[in-house]
Amino acid sequence: MERGPGRRLGIWAIVLLVVGAVAVLTPPVLTVVLDQQPVRVRSVGSDHMEPTYRRGDRVFLAAEDGGSPRVERGDVVLFSSPDWDRGDHVERVVALGGDRISYRRGDATLRLNGQPLDEPYLKDRRTPATVDFDVVVPEGRMFLMGDNRGNSADSSYRGSNGRQGTVAVSAVTGKAVGRPTGLLVLGGAELLGVLVFLVGAGLGTAALVVRRRARKRQAAWPGPHGPVPGWPGAHGPGAGV
């Protein structure tokens, strides 16, 4: 059985388009599914956590079941609190209940319980804060700040909320964890899927071009194997004069 021109290209185009589409769509679907599982996923909506998380980055969070989550200084947490704006927030825990955290303009670092606080995660270590504060964190609460201190509306800016900008530990709904290996692979698969999809689209276009050229040749040479004897333009025995 004779195959039409461009048929093989067309088949490969369809296969690559399907594979590419599946690879591109799988990670977003898993993100929605995982949001209901012990590992949650959130996208960062601003640059306040740079360089740790940039705008649009996905944060993978181990879900907390409420009550009294185990939170430590330095943790990046997801929380929702009526003391802050509506919605979820992602910030870093700088101090916990009983801690004294302070900063005065000109200081090289924050001071935690009277000692300089080392913060290697900051975007600019020359700017540990932009406003003065001196807070003794109430028990059961935490003092939170972004890693990009030059652009973070964190606890240091919310001292007028009656709780010195602190948030209840019980408001934490998740703690950031390293990206699971399987999801890291899926992230690469998403990028590869885009490339595969583009290659498939290119092959599909090539198949259409091949078929159109074949149709034009058939219109010019109606015979199944070339010019028909007697057809204008044919030569040799039996050809028209």
Q: Tell me the pLDDT tens digit for each residue of 206-231.
A: 777 777 777 777 777 655 555 555 54
Q: Does residue 201 sit in the same domain as residue 174?
A: no
Q: Does residue 45 sit in the same domain as residue 128?
A: yes
Q: Does residue 184 sit in the same domain as residue 173?
A: no
Q: Does residue 192 sit in the same domain as residue 209?
A: yes
Segments in the chain forming alpha helices (H): 7-34, 181-220
List the domain range (segments joined by +) for residue 225: 1-34+180-241
Q: State the Cα–Cα distance between residues 58 and 36, nearest whole angstrom.
A: 15
Domain count, the chain: 2
Is the pTM higher than 0.95? The answer reads no
Sign of CA dihedral 204, 210, 212, 214: negative
Q: Does residue 47 sit in the same domain as residue 105?
A: yes
Q: Does residue 149 sit in the same domain as residue 75?
A: yes
* DSSP calls for 124-137: -TT-S-SS-EEEEP
Sheet with 76-79: strands ordered across: 39-43, 58-63, 172-176, 76-79, 89-96, 141-145, 167-168
Contact 185, 196 (CB under 8 A): no
Q: Tell me the pLDDT tens digit for each residue of 131-189.
A: 999 999 999 999 999 999 999 989 998 877 667 899 999 999 889 986 554 455 555 66
Q: Tell me the pLDDT tens digit for each residue of 77-131.
A: 999 988 888 889 999 999 999 999 999 999 999 999 999 999 999 999 999 999 9
